[in-house]
Structure 1
């Protein structure tokens, strides 16, 4: 998709579709210059049509009107943004997504988008670019049949952004480019999650990591079962042992070229990567298994974020850690009642083999802590309990380090992703107490998302850590704004914003000696490298 800026008059910009976003009430005396000019050219028919169709500029409203040759644009699309008091850039992003979907239905290849006059700022331009690119996303590569002309029909390829001023601002250009990078990385992550499990297995996920490394110049290290055994990741191995597919240990490392920056404490990103979760011997019901190809959405978001982070080149290292495997039932699968020994040395009694993600993450978090990061953020489709608590569109954020939590929540708000802080309370710790081991992998049903977070907390020691349970928002149950039904890439934009914010705050990128928390005690021999 090619973006360009057009200063001033939207009516002369041309294009097949002229998009005018409006806040609730903008059809009245506060009408924008673009709306007033378009309505005048159409002899009042635009406002009349809006009145007749009940369009007022409310959220998610839209109206398409054919100009019948009276304007350079063939059609005008009015987009509702809702009330002025509730407006955010995410509202604009969602509206741009609706515009992209309308353009697809109309088979439009060119689009002119009027940036609201009061919002002709880099954030607004970026939101529009992201919304359009996310909105045109489709996952239909396995569909066959249908009219050949439909398959070959080109999609939306040219976008003109109408802004005040001359449109030559370097900030606006940079904003569009950042929006493009983030949206393309998100769509790449959506592809990984939407692919069937017979395509995206641990090997394919490792290959995706190598593709990221090759494209951005960052370092990729891939390990197999022998490396996982060498690192004594007993929980990871336990989960993986029931599958015919070999597990993969993935480490991506962005290291700044400046030697001083390279020595700073890294930011560690950890993604859950169960490429298919049958539940193991604690088998899921058939209906619950249908979407379990998406149980690696956390890793897809982390790998996708690294695509952008490598290009942003922040002045501190960023590491991504992923343990990829399947959770399958077989004669070699781990069992309820088994006791597994983690890399940290803690023993875990298995009470439910369908609580597997936290086992793999526990070993990977231990490994990440050994790299002495300034902070760790993990993304995981971890619990159905979090979906019950927060629904399909809100990420549950867990952690007891207020500074790290505030940083992540601030990044999420800037990215337009909805997060809600959840408690991590010691009051629930009894739910994980075992009579035969240091802890159980699953406790009672009540507070299930908190129990899972408490389990992970055992493996991060004093390192500032935020756990993001994305079980609900990792997929959308329906088409909405720039979402299609299916994978969303949630969390990726927040991770990018987190890195951008830390890059702008030198105090958050101190040297390891100044800021890194001590690693939890490990079974690894002193001086042994934990890198795969």
Structure 2
């Protein structure tokens, strides 16, 4: 979409759809200027009609009315934001997503969006742009009807009206550019998740990563089975051995051009990339298997984030590590009862071949740790237990390094992705105790998501680490705000925001540590 700013009243701007977000109670005697201007043009009929239809500005409420020549716009859309006291930018992001879906339904090309007055104008502006871009997303590549609608009108132009008294600055332009870049990367990740498993297999995922890295101008290395064997990733190889599709080991590297910054310890991002998970010989039921093309959502989020991170150019390296394979049943599959040897040399008794993600992650994470990162964050659709605990929209966050955990949670909050910290308790460690190996890959049913996190913890040593279990939020079961049914790209926004904040902190500390410049000697300057 193309974005521009307009000055003056939004009600006077030309466009096919005028969007006015409203907090609860703002349809009363003293409406905000954006609504007052539109209602005046309607000679009071807009508010009257909205009130008659029960619109009060409550969360998720919408009201559309044709302008009948009263406005420059053809229609006006009122969006409910709920209570102003409970406002955060995610509320506006969801509302903007509803606006984009309404624009699609009405076949609107040009939209005018009145940005509401809030405490953080820049965050709200980003939320509007991200919501519009994410809400306009549709995955219909394989629908015949989509080919017929290829030339149908689409939302391509957005005019943004800032609150009264706010002058546009360079910061506003930067916010729009960042929001658009983040949303586009998230939609790219959604595409990867939504593609069928006969299209996105490990080789195709590696090609997508290579194309992304080439476009972003960053280094990528893709290795096959021989390199995985050389690295002694026995757990990864065990999972991969049942599929005819060869495994791929992907390493993406952003390195600052500044030699001093390039020496800083990197941030390591690890994404689970099981492109299809049948459960292996511990076969899943058919109903549970149908969505297992999405078991690579963690890797999609990591790669999507790297697209943006390369453009942000933080003053430290950022590495992405991905081990991709399929978990399939065959005569060569790994079996319950097998003992696999990890890259670290720890032996693992297999009690459930459907607990495969942690095996691949364990080997890849131990390899990532060898690159001496300052912090490691992994994203994985790891456990159904986490979905049972937190539902479809909340990410489970695990880790025992409080500082890193708080930084990730704050980044998630700012990005509008809800996360909840869960314990990594040693009390559950007995569940992974094996009689014949160093540990089991799966324990009892109770505390399943904690058990999985404890397994991963064995492979990170003392490095500050956060594990994000995205099994629920990686796929939306229904339309909600900017979400449609299918892949969500969850994690992209949080990772980008985490790196942005870390970059700001490092740049601030460097500025503080820089020695003050010495005053020039003498009182005269040379002409």
TM-score, normalization: structure 2?
A: 0.95
| Structure-2 separation of matches of 1:183 and 1:146 | 22
| Structure-2 separation of matches of 1:118 and 1:451 | 42
- Cα 1:119/1:110, change in 2 over 3 Å: farther
Q: Equivalent residue for 2:155?
A: 156
Partners of 1:96 and 1:482 within 8 A in 2:
yes
Q: Equivalent residue for 2:44?
A: 44
| Structure-2 separation of matches of 1:21 and 1:92 | 8
| Structure-2 separation of matches of 1:22 and 1:321 | 43
Partners of 2:140 and 2:146 within 8 A in 1:
no
Q: Equivalent residue for 1:116?
A: 116
SS of residue paired to 1:442: coil
| Structure-2 separation of matches of 1:230 and 1:342 | 12
Q: Equivalent residue for 2:130?
A: 130
SS of residue paired to 1:314: coil
Structure 2: segments with no counterpart, 5+ residues? 511-527
SS of residue paired to 1:152: coil
Q: Equivalent residue for 2:216?
A: 216
- Cα 1:399/1:118, change in 2 over 3 Å: closer
Per-residue CA deviations over 1:303-337 (Å, capped at 9, x if unaligned) read 00000000000000000000000000000000000
Structure 1 residue 9: Cα displacement: 1.2
| Structure-2 separation of matches of 1:276 and 1:267 | 28
* 408-417 or 2-11, larger mean C-alpha shift: 2-11
Partners of 2:201 and 2:275 within 8 A in 1:
yes
| Structure-1 separation of matches of 2:150 and 2:263 | 51
| Structure-2 separation of matches of 1:408 and 1:29 | 43
SS of residue paired to 1:151: coil
Q: 1:495 aligned to 2:495?
A: yes
Q: Equivalent residue for 2:456?
A: 456
- Cα 1:346/1:30, change in 2 over 3 Å: farther
Q: Report matched runs for 1:70-109 at 5 Å.
A: 70-109=70-109
Structure 1 residue 154: Cα displacement: 2.7
Q: Equivalent residue for 2:281?
A: 281
Q: Equivalent residue for 1:345?
A: 345
| Structure-2 separation of matches of 1:444 and 1:508 | 47
SS of residue paired to 1:400: coil
| Structure-1 separation of matches of 2:350 and 2:86 | 47
Q: 1:183 aligned to 2:193?
A: no
Partners of 1:503 and 1:509 within 8 A in 2:
no
| Structure-2 separation of matches of 1:8 and 1:310 | 37
Q: Equivalent residue for 1:141?
A: 141
* 170-179 or 41-50, larger mean C-alpha shift: 41-50
| Structure-2 separation of matches of 1:478 and 1:407 | 30
Per-residue CA deviations over 1:159-191 (Å, capped at 9, x if unaligned) read 000014575410000000000000000000000
Per-residue CA deviations over 1:322-380 (Å, capped at 9, x if unaligned) read 00000000000000000000000000000000000000000000000000000000000
Partners of 1:502 and 1:508 within 8 A in 2:
no
Structure 1 residue 13: Cα displacement: 1.1
TM-score, normalization: structure 1?
A: 0.94
Aligned residue pairs: how many?
Answer: 509
Structure 1 residue 30: Cα displacement: 3.8
SS of residue paired to 1:403: helix
Structure 1 residue 117: Cα displacement: 2.9
Aligned-residue Cα RMSD (Å) equals: 1.3
Q: Equivalent residue for 1:467?
A: 467
Structure 1: segments with no counterpart, 5+ residues? 511-532
| Structure-1 separation of matches of 2:202 and 2:445 | 30
Structure 1 residue 212: Cα displacement: 1.5
Partners of 1:7 and 1:162 within 8 A in 2:
yes
Per-residue CA deviations over 1:410-465 (Å, capped at 9, x if unaligned) read 00001000000000000000000000000000000000000000000000000000
Q: Equivalent residue for 2:198?
A: 198
| Structure-2 separation of matches of 1:507 and 1:2 | 32
Structure 1 residue 151: Cα displacement: 3.0
Partners of 2:250 and 2:322 within 8 A in 1:
yes
SS of residue paired to 1:261: helix
Q: Equivalent residue for 1:371?
A: 371
